Amino acid sequence: MDNINDMTRHISALSDIAGTYDAIFCDVWGVVHNGRNIHNAAAEALSDFRKSGGHVVLITNSPRPHEGVAEQLWQLGLSGGVYDAIATSGDVTRALIKQAQQPVFHLGPERDRPLFDGLDVALAPFEEARSIVCTGLFDDEQEGPEDYRGFFEEALQRDLPFICANPDIVVERGDRLIWCAGALARLYEELGGNCLLAGKPHAPIYELARLKLTKLADDQIDDTKILAIGDGMPTDVKGAQDNGFDLLYVAGGIHAADYGGTEPDPAALEAFLMHHGAKPVAWIQHLS
């Protein structure tokens, strides 16, 4: 199973292609950890890339500012030697919040409130709000997008704009898939609502990652020398391709069940990639 199609090769380790690149933009949830545990092989691979002189920017759709993600990674046990900088959807969404009609209603768990820290923004109950800022479901262990249909229909009657701080549809939490804010944004758009997003796959988060990389390298690194790594088709894959980066696709992530789970079926994976118009330079089951 060395080749899935003419455009994609199967590799067993990041080091197989790492020498071609000066920097990596690496997804976090599903690649570096699963919400419960660090993937040690992935951490080691990124650390080795840095030791060889490369730069690693973690790029995540977490609705938290980068300081909160760094703290979360530390609590999970990730060494600081694995990455140089972090760019988050929360970081770039703060610009959208500054421009929002006030007051805003926060749709999401209390743990995401740091998104608003330091911003001159008025939070209000839903009945008084003129905008919605969504960081996730109130209870992502028990709820799904359909639980919010009635709520959204009322919001649409008031023509409330919907700012989504996490474009991910689902993420891994241990061995389960958990709904994210992106699933709510998708439903709101389907119902006719106006959604604003800045995280992956959209340009602002990649612009932030480039800015951080330029500061690290003391010079601008050409996009052709940057490798994006991720497992999500609508976010990591589309974002890399839309923004001009080579992609290493992690097949053992959120889409694994679509082509065979722990042992990808070559024909099924080929069909999956073609269906999504995905053209990674390589694929790997899990980053190592």
Per-residue model confidence as pLDDT tens digits over 77-88: 998 899 999 999
Alpha-carbon distance 169 to 254, whole Å?
Answer: 10
Residues 6+ apart with CB under 8 A from 198: 89, 92, 93, 95, 96, 204, 205
Which token pair is 115?
Answer: 């998104």
List Cα–Cα distances, 226 to 58, 144, 206, 231, 283, in angstroms: 12, 36, 11, 17, 16
119-148 confidence digits (pLDDT tens):
999 999 999 999 999 999 999 999 999 999
Alpha-carbon distance 60 to 68, whole Å?
Answer: 12
Query: Is the predicted pLDDT of residue 3 greater than 70, yes or no?
Result: no
Length of the chain in terms of residues written? 288
Give the pLDDT of residue 266.
80
85-111 confidence digits (pLDDT tens):
999 999 999 999 999 999 999 999 999
Query: Is the predicted pLDDT of residue 17 greater than 90, yes or no?
Result: yes
Query: Is the predicted pLDDT of residue 251 greater than 70, yes or no?
Result: yes
**Percent with pLDDT over 90 in the chain:** 86
Strand 8-10, strand 3-5: pairing: antiparallel
β-sheet with 246-250: strand ranges across: 3-5, 8-10, 282-284, 246-250, 226-230, 23-26, 55-60, 85-88
Give the pLDDT of residue 10.
92
Q: Answer whether 83's CB lies under 8 Å from 46's CB.
A: yes
Give the pLDDT of residue 264.
85
Give the pLDDT of residue 6.
62
**Percent with pLDDT over 70 in the chain:** 98
> Average pLDDT for residues 14-19, to the nearest whole number?
98
Give the pLDDT of residue 5.
44
Residues 6+ apart with CB under 8 A from 34: 172, 173, 174, 175
Which token pair is 182?
Answer: 């992106």
Residues 6+ apart with CB under 8 A from 159: 194
189-235 confidence digits (pLDDT tens):
999 999 999 999 999 999 999 999 999 998 899 999 999 999 999 99
Question: What DSSP line would sit under 112-181, residue for residue?
Answer: GGGGGTT----B--GGG-SEEEE-S-S-TTT--GGGGHHHHHHHHHTT--EEES---SEEEETTEEEE-H
Nearest-CA neighbor of 208 among 92, 82, 95, 60? 92
Query: Is the predicted pLDDT of residue 188 greater than 70, yes or no?
Result: yes
pLDDT band at 164 (very low <50, low <70, confident <90, very high): very high
Q: Answer whether 193's CB lies under 8 Å from 204's CB.
A: no
